[in-house]
Structure 1
Amino acid sequence: MKLLSLNVGRPVVSEHTDQAEGVTGIDKRPVEGSVRVAAPGTEGFGAGGLEGDAVCDTRHHGGEHQAVYAFAREDLDAWERTLGRTLHNGSFGENLTTEGVDVSGAKIGERWRVGSDLVLEVASGRIPCRTFQGHLGEKGWVKRFTEQAAPGAYLRVVEPGAIRAGDTIEILHRPDHEVTVSFQFRAVTTERDLLPRILVAADTLAPEAVRVARTYMAKQGSGAEAGEARG
């Protein structure tokens, strides 16, 4: 398992973003040499976890639980075959293009060591947006990506470090629960009945996903109570 490519983005103008200045950093490109990775807001970093990487729409991207985004090269290859086009490393806006890692099969709370020092923790799956669709230029992309349920993983930084393409990726810890990135993604998108089951990973799951699950459960409980009252 290794880091095939390390990708960062610069702000570019796009008509497909809701960000006030009309720019996005989704167009990630591979870089050579090492890049420092740390928790957003530390070491002079902005909203993202990679030095030199632009995170423009901070309402929906960046922050502690979306510090780094990883996507498997194997999944990019599958999309290449489906779409009939070349997808370079970073095409999906990922910071880390991996090889030999089942990224969407990773469990929430799973920890990876990348290189010698960096430790990352899986926090959630990536939810597609219209900026992503506009960036790829594929009609109906949000729906197609969602149906595939292989969204790649957002990760938080546990221990900072410098990494470069070619570094090994080692799984340090894999929780004993069923909630993979794909499972959590399906729960918050197409299979809402799964939402109560993702709370087993609440301690390490991104807070927004926890909120969605608890709101769903509260509404279900209210519905049940109303039904009992009518009976």
Structure 2
Amino acid sequence: MAHVLSVNAGRPEPNPDRPTKQTGIGKLPVPYAFVRAPGPKRGGLGSGVEGDFIGSRKHHGGDSQAVYAFAREELDWWGEQLGRRLPDGMFGENLTTSGLPVDDGLIGEQWSVGDEVVLEVTGPRVPCATFRHHMAERGWVRRFTERGLTGAYLAVVTPGTVRPDDAIVVLGRPDHDVTLPLAFRAFMGEVDAAERVLAARCLPAHEEDWLRGRLRRRTRGA
């Protein structure tokens, strides 16, 4: 049965990519966490998970990136490739899942988590320099991008408490075909993928505007 394997939160720690800043990417398991919509990136609460620290609110957090989920099965795959064990929370995920094909998720599909919470898939994770330094693997961003299975950013539709072993049920899927990997390829500059994603009108408004602008610039320069 698909379920939450671990609930993870990060505390402030030095950011090796930006010495004057802090990061919360190094997340550790907690017994439970209350999740709620955090508001906008700037001026909001940051993470949708209470007690979870976000260092760069310009690029992370906010309503459309309130919670980040990653599959334990994919962590295990990476562990085999890298030759080391990757603990729950290693990729900065708030929810480490088991039995759920996270990267098959469609933008806009909703999950119930436990007895209270409903989350909505909003988009893929895009790797950044902080992630690269955190992993300390040569060519990490390139390798992660080539793999293309990024996990899911989620918005909080119905707040509540999430605990390990909570069941995850996919409540409904939209009628388009925009999966997380397709959206990721669009964000990384693949023109055909961007056109398909924009045609589906499934992204949060600010991300749709950003992607449309990027596509316009790329096609003008082609």
**1:95 aligned partner, one-letter code:** N
- Answer with 1 or 2: which has the greater Rg: 1
Paired residue total: 218
Partner of 2:6, secondary structure, is strand
Please give the alpha-carbon distance, in whole angstroms, between the structure 2 residues aligned to 1:221 and 1:94.
Answer: 34
What is the 5 A alignment of 1:109-148?
A: 109-148=108-147
CA shift, 1:16, in A, is 1.3
Superposition RMSD in Å: 2.0
Farther-moved stretch of structure 1 (190-199 vs 121-130): 190-199
| TM-score, structure 1 as length reference | 0.88
| 1:56 partnered with 2:55 | yes
Partner of 2:184, secondary structure, is helix
**2:75 aligned partner, one-letter code:** L
* Structure 1 portions without partners, runs of 5+: 225-231
User: Residues 135, 82 of structure 1: CA spacing in aligned structure 2 closer, same or farther, 3 A cutoff?
Assistant: same
Please give the alpha-carbon distance, in whole angstroms, between the structure 2 residues aligned to 1:184 and 1:154.
Answer: 12
| TM-score, structure 2 as length reference | 0.92
**1:7 aligned partner, one-letter code:** N
CA shift, 1:189, in A, is 1.0
Query: Identity, % of aligned pairs?
Result: 48
In the other structure, the counterpart of 1:212 is: 210
What is the 5 A alignment of 1:1-231?
A: 1-17=2-18, 21-32=20-31, 34-41=32-39, 46-189=45-188, 191-203=190-202, 205-219=203-217
**1:15 aligned partner, one-letter code:** P
User: Residues 108, 53 of structure 1: CA spacing in aligned structure 2 closer, same or farther, 3 A cutoff?
Assistant: same
* Deviation readout 1:21-74 (Å, 9 max, x if unpaired): 421000000111x311000049xx821101100011101100011000000001
Kindly indicate whether the alpha-carbon contact (under 8 Å) linking 2:8 and 2:88 is maintained by their aligned counterparts in 1. yes
User: Residues 117, 200 of structure 1: CA spacing in aligned structure 2 closer, same or farther, 3 A cutoff?
Assistant: farther
**2:159 aligned partner, one-letter code:** P
Please give the alpha-carbon distance, in whole angstroms, between the structure 1 residues aligned to 2:209 and 2:137.
Answer: 31
CA shift, 1:94, in A, is 0.2
Please give the alpha-carbon distance, in whole angstroms, between the structure 1 residues aligned to 2:213 and 2:15.
Answer: 34
**1:210 aligned partner, one-letter code:** E
Please give the alpha-carbon distance, in whole angstroms, between the structure 2 residues aligned to 1:72 and 1:190.
Answer: 25
Please give the alpha-carbon distance, in whole angstroms, between the structure 1 residues aligned to 2:106 and 2:199.
Answer: 11
Please give the alpha-carbon distance, in whole angstroms, between the structure 2 residues aligned to 1:159 and 1:214.
Answer: 30
CA shift, 1:148, in A, is 0.3
